[in-house]
Structure 1
């Protein structure tokens, strides 16, 4: 789901970069040293998972895991996402530097929303179902963000039955369900074994 450099116009990339600064400041506020190991561990998981990808037009389909980051790290999730995206862009040219702000917001906003909803509706019952739904919902939010960015950047991305936007939507539908189930399994396991890890 990473956008590459040259896909979006400069005003959208610049606006996203400015907004990203605010999100990073919010996420980093009050950060404690004992939180860093957990953030680092989740950064590594996010980094590795996103490298296994299938290119689709200007984007790609792969495991995302930012829903899981939101559930475990809460408001700290954007910090893990930022480091992971920087490493992917600089080491493997996965995503871009100019559009880093767009990619960052596309993944950080869903992570923050899912983290908030997980804590708000926290319960001992239905951990798997709740986590699976939130994991899939995170991808839906990110996909809507991606479609919006492409649409307002250049209307050629929305032309025709086989437009880039249509292909992206169709290709990500199976991922919504697959990753949702996967996150549900992971969170249920952590809830049983290490519940203190959930909800940053």
Structure 2
């Protein structure tokens, strides 16, 4: 997510930053040097694809790839997310520096959840397991973002074309797009580089 500074209230921003620090510490704990190349590769893909935006009204939509990150990196996914968001905020001015904790939280929690669900669905065919987790990641991201917006101000939920309504409507197609894309990518990786799917 690339929410700009000033959108979220100070209490939400501060709380998110504190929780984000804990999640990042959990993700980094026990990191081994042999894991860094894989994390770097996935971070690069995340940085590039989520930097391409399609404007829709006052909002915009872009590929998230959080389900894919969760599947490929497991508990290390927040590392890739943080680096990607930091680079986008500093280099491309996508998202705010102060709001980076909220943006991180909105994406890191779903990545960890779908990584867990992907492992638990081991009896489901790989394509469908990947597609389900890819689509679910988008639903979780939008849900957490709505919660953060509502905790910040009621203004985001006022009117038929409120920020929250536009946000939901613009991301519904993305649920299916991300699900399909995640399923296809993971199936391709399974056929060509199965060692990358370790979680």
TM-score of the two chains, using structure 2 as the length reference: 0.96
For structure 2, the 5+ residue unaligned runs are none
**Aligned position for 2:107:** 107
**Aligned position for 1:119:** 119
**Aligned position for 1:74:** 74
**Aligned position for 1:138:** 137
For structure 1, the 5+ residue unaligned runs are none
- Tell me if structure 2 keeps the 8 A contact 1:5–1:95: yes
**RMSD of the alignment, in Å?**
1.3
User: In structure 2, what is the Cα distance between the partners aligned to 1:40 and 1:57?
Assistant: 34
User: In structure 2, what is the Cα distance between the partners aligned to 1:57 and 1:20?
Assistant: 30
User: In structure 2, what is the Cα distance between the partners aligned to 1:9 and 1:18?
Assistant: 15
**Aligned position for 1:188:** 187
* Deviation readout 1:72-117 (Å, 9 max, x if unpaired): 0000000000000000000011011111011001111111111111
Q: CA deviation at 1:57?
A: 6.7
User: In structure 1, what is the Cα distance between the partners aligned to 2:95 and 2:60?
Assistant: 9
TM-score of the two chains, using structure 1 as the length reference: 0.96
Q: CA deviation at 1:56?
A: 5.0
* Deviation readout 1:8-39 (Å, 9 max, x if unpaired): 11110000000011001100010000000000
The 5 Å alignment of 1:172-183 reads: 172-183=171-182
